[in-house]
Chains A and B, each alone.
Chain A
Amino acid sequence: MIRFLLGRGLQIAVVVALTSFLVYALIGLMPGDPIDLMLSADPNLTAADAIRLKALYGLDQPLLDRYWHWLTAALSGDFGYSRLYAQPVWEVLWPRLGNTLLLMGASFALSLLVALPLGVLAARRAGGLVDNTVNLLAFAGISLPSFWLSILLILLFAVHLGWLPAGGLGDGGLLDRLDHMVLPVAALAIATVGQHLRYVRAGVREALRQDFVRTARAKGLSERRVVWGHVLRNALIPVVTVLALDFGTLFSGALVVETMFSWLGMGKTIYDAILGNDYNLALVSLLLATVTVLLASLAADLAYVWLDPRIEPE
């Protein structure tokens, strides 16, 4: 187990290092050179000043040297400054990571709460009217563009009915925060529930075909105990794996939903950073997002082992 964790930890470190270098290199190809921006902000600067500024900030160094410098600083906990917010990147990101995890956690839970019972129901009546309806609804969910869904939700609940705020985080009070959470959480949950439904349905269908189900029925267990006790647990094993692989998709969905509802999370930060030429912030945000996603998939692997004791972690 410890070897497994160490191995996976190493893998995550390699992935993060590779991603960081890739993105660091790409940032040089972004529009809006920082020195050019300074020159346009201050007409008194001359070409000689520009060269001196370049040397001062180390921008005349080769790419690998600059990356090494950035990496060693990052490893000692210094992730640099955000141009847009004039704060250390870490101080900008820390509260936003919490906001994103709150949004993703709540909508993930909501999505599963809907997908589990519906998926089981559909799988037990495979091919029937209920199954076909659920399948159609699942595809509708998968096919809905989440930004359009967000617009529709705002249109209905904020503009027409006036029941809920159209965006923002609220003033800090718990009830107000909950009020502001309803629409974004609903939007993200609707965007993911279709895929979750299909995973659960496929998993349960497969599990229902196994021999142990016949055995459980033969020994006289009630259908409810068979399904919720035996089938579901086995059906969940593949479901957990694909859910973990889907965590990146959840993050992508969060970027859209956060942007639509002005929810100050990681996704919105990456988008705002790109639009505002704040590339250091964009780089660190993407890395943090990657680490989060990889840790989630590690957690899913551990859940996998817990659900299925037959599996030995490699």
Chain B
Amino acid sequence: MSASVAAPRSLGGALLRRPVAAGALAFLVVLTIASFAAPWLAAWRGLDPEQVNLLARAQPPSDVHWLGTDELGRDLLLRLLYAGQVSLTVGFAAAFGAAVVGSAIGLVAGWAGGRLDALLMRLADLLMALPVLPLLVILAALDLGKLGLPPDVAGAAWTGLARIVVLIVLVGWVTVARLVRGTTLSLKRREFVLAARALGARDRTILWRHVLPNAASPIVVATTLSIGNVILLESVLSFLGLGIQPPTASWGNMLTNAQQTLWSEPMLAVWPGLFIFATVMAFNLLGDALQDELDPRGRSG
């Protein structure tokens, strides 16, 4: 409740004093830089991640290919890094989108109360209760052309990315909405909010200036923890062939191909999974540490 946002410097310092959190943060920074620097790495090594070379299929690690090549002779490390761009982008975008939508719904529900609140919260209950993955599997198969999108938009690679972000936001806003609604409800009757109202501040100003900042810590914690989840969802959908489509690499769809050569090339199935695992783990450990720092009593309501 006391939590106005802790000053960034002290928060950063506190995180760096925790070895696990510091390690997780360092890993994520290195991974992000490496992923988005992949084009330069490719140019420097003289490699092309899309270049199929059937004479160099499934080679072991070498000076040229640091992690070897995949079943089509493409450099494995480069593809892993390009896939990292996709996973990190989807992870950040969907988690951020869910936080924004969730905050808005939580603010409105908590502030307005009454029927609107009841309706929105029942909707949240419903989404919590539904088996998410089966629902996403069905939604991900929708033909965007039949929704009225022109074929060149519906078929473009970035549409696949946007589609998966939208789907995850659609089911992912619930946690943040509940947290923000809880904070809004309890702040609504606090003196400083009543004072602001008495002074004639508009609802929007009160929500934006007084209520939202007080909900910032739980939002940050929930969002950090959700990035890992989003990356898991994206990778499983891509793995099932319903997410990011080849030739765009994603850790999930790299595993789809690797599954077919499991017997002969097991390492192709090990690396992408290891990247997913390490990334998701890092986000979760970071979120856990943030929770300890920002909200020591655990789950805040």
Which A residues lie at the B interface, using CB under 8 A? Answer: 15, 18-19, 23, 26, 28-31, 135-136, 139-140, 142-148, 151-152, 154-155, 159, 202, 245, 248-249, 251-253, 255-256, 259, 266-267, 270-271, 274-275, 282, 285-286, 289-290, 293-294, 297
- From A282, which residue of chain B is reached at the shortest CB distance? B138
A245 pairs with B141, CB closer than 8 A:
no
Binary per-residue interface labels of chain B (277-288) against chain A in the complex, 1 for a CB within 8 Å, 0 otherwise: 100110011001
In the assembled complex, 11 residue pairs joining A and B whose CB atoms fall closer than 8 Å, in A order, are: A26-B138, A29-B143, A30-B143, A31-B141, A143-B232, A147-B239, A148-B255, A251-B131, A256-B133, A274-B242, A293-B131
Q: 4 smallest A-B Cβ distances: which pairs?
A: A148-B273, A252-B133, A251-B131, A143-B281
Residues 153 to 199 of chain B near chain A (Cβ within 8 Å): none
A152 pairs with B273, CB closer than 8 A:
yes
Q: Which of B20, B147, B277 contacts A145 (CB 8 A)?
A: B277
B137 pairs with A274, CB closer than 8 A:
yes
Q: Which of B137, B139, B143 has the most CB of A within 10 A?
A: B137
Cα separation A152 to B129 with both chains bound (whole Å): 30
Asked if B298 is at the interface of the complex by the 8 Å CB criterion, the answer is: yes
Asked if B228 is at the interface of the complex by the 8 Å CB criterion, the answer is: yes
- From A23, which residue of chain B is reached at the shortest CB distance? B138
A145 pairs with B126, CB closer than 8 A:
no
A-side contacts of B232, CB under 8 Å: 143, 145
Cα separation A267 to B146 with both chains bound (whole Å): 26
B235 pairs with A145, CB closer than 8 A:
yes
A151 pairs with B143, CB closer than 8 A:
no
B-side contacts of A251, CB under 8 Å: 131, 133-134
Given contacts A30-B143, A252-B132, A293-B130, contact A143 B228 (CB under 8 A): yes
4 extra interface residue pairs, beta carbon distance < 8 Å, beyond A251-B133, A252-B131: A29-B143, A142-B280, A145-B236, A248-B128
Cα separation A248 to B131 with both chains bound (whole Å): 4
Cα separation A242 to B259 with both chains bound (whole Å): 34
Cα separation A256 to B273 with both chains bound (whole Å): 15
Give A293 Cβ to nearest chain B Cβ, in Å.
6
Cα separation A147 to B239 with both chains bound (whole Å): 8
Q: Which of B20, B129, B266, B277 contacts A297 (CB 8 A)?
A: B129
Give B115 Cβ to nearest chain A Cβ, in Å.
16
Cα separation A54 to B110 with both chains bound (whole Å): 48
A-side contacts of B298, CB under 8 Å: 202
Interface residues of B, count at CB 8 A: 45
Cα separation A23 to B298 with both chains bound (whole Å): 37
Cα separation A286 to B134 with both chains bound (whole Å): 7
A-side contacts of B281, CB under 8 Å: 139-140, 143
Asked if B40 is at the interface of the complex by the 8 Å CB criterion, the answer is: no
- From A147, which residue of chain B is reached at the shortest CB distance? B239
Cα separation A259 to B280 with both chains bound (whole Å): 22
Overall SS of chain A's interface:
helix
A29 pairs with B135, CB closer than 8 A:
no
Residues 100 to 132 of chain B near chain A (Cβ within 8 Å): 126, 128-132
Asked if B240 is at the interface of the complex by the 8 Å CB criterion, the answer is: yes
Cα separation A140 to B270 with both chains bound (whole Å): 16
B-side contacts of A267, CB under 8 Å: 133-134
- From B141, which residue of chain A is reached at the shortest CB distance? A274
Asked if B142 is at the interface of the complex by the 8 Å CB criterion, the answer is: yes
Give A298 Cβ to nearest chain B Cβ, in Å.
10
Q: Which of A28, A142, A159, A290 contacts B130 (CB 8 A)?
A: A290
Given contacts A251-B133, A271-B240, contact A145 B273 (CB under 8 A): yes
Given contacts A19-B130, A30-B142, A274-B138, contact A151 B284 (CB under 8 A): no
A256 pairs with B130, CB closer than 8 A:
no
B-side contacts of A253, CB under 8 Å: 133
- From A249, which residue of chain B is reached at the shortest CB distance? B132
A-side contacts of B299, CB under 8 Å: 202
Give B252 Cβ to nearest chain A Cβ, in Å.
8
Asked if B276 is at the interface of the complex by the 8 Å CB criterion, the answer is: yes
Cα separation A23 to B126 with both chains bound (whole Å): 14
- From B256, which residue of chain A is reached at the shortest CB distance? A147
Binary per-residue interface labels of chain B (221-257) against chain A in the complex, 1 for a CB within 8 Å, 0 otherwise: 0000000100010011001111000000000000100
- From A18, which residue of chain B is reached at the shortest CB distance? B126
- From A12, which residue of chain B is reached at the shortest CB distance? B129
B133 pairs with A255, CB closer than 8 A:
yes
Cα separation A30 to B139 with both chains bound (whole Å): 9
B-side contacts of A135, CB under 8 Å: 288
Q: Which of A15, A29, A142, A145 contacts B142 (CB 8 A)?
A: A29
Cα separation A270 to B272 with both chains bound (whole Å): 26
A-side contacts of B135, CB under 8 Å: 286
Residues 262 to 301 of chain B near chain A (Cβ within 8 Å): 262-263, 266, 269-270, 272-273, 276-277, 280-281, 284-285, 288, 298-299
A-side contacts of B132, CB under 8 Å: 248-249, 252
B-side contacts of A202, CB under 8 Å: 298-299
A-side contacts of B255, CB under 8 Å: 147-148, 151
A143 pairs with B280, CB closer than 8 A:
yes
Give A44 Cβ to nearest chain B Cβ, in Å.
27
Given contacts A26-B138, A274-B137, contact A155 B130 (CB under 8 A): no
Cα separation A227 to B137 with both chains bound (whole Å): 43
A-side contacts of B141, CB under 8 Å: 30-31, 274
B-side contacts of A140, CB under 8 Å: 277, 281
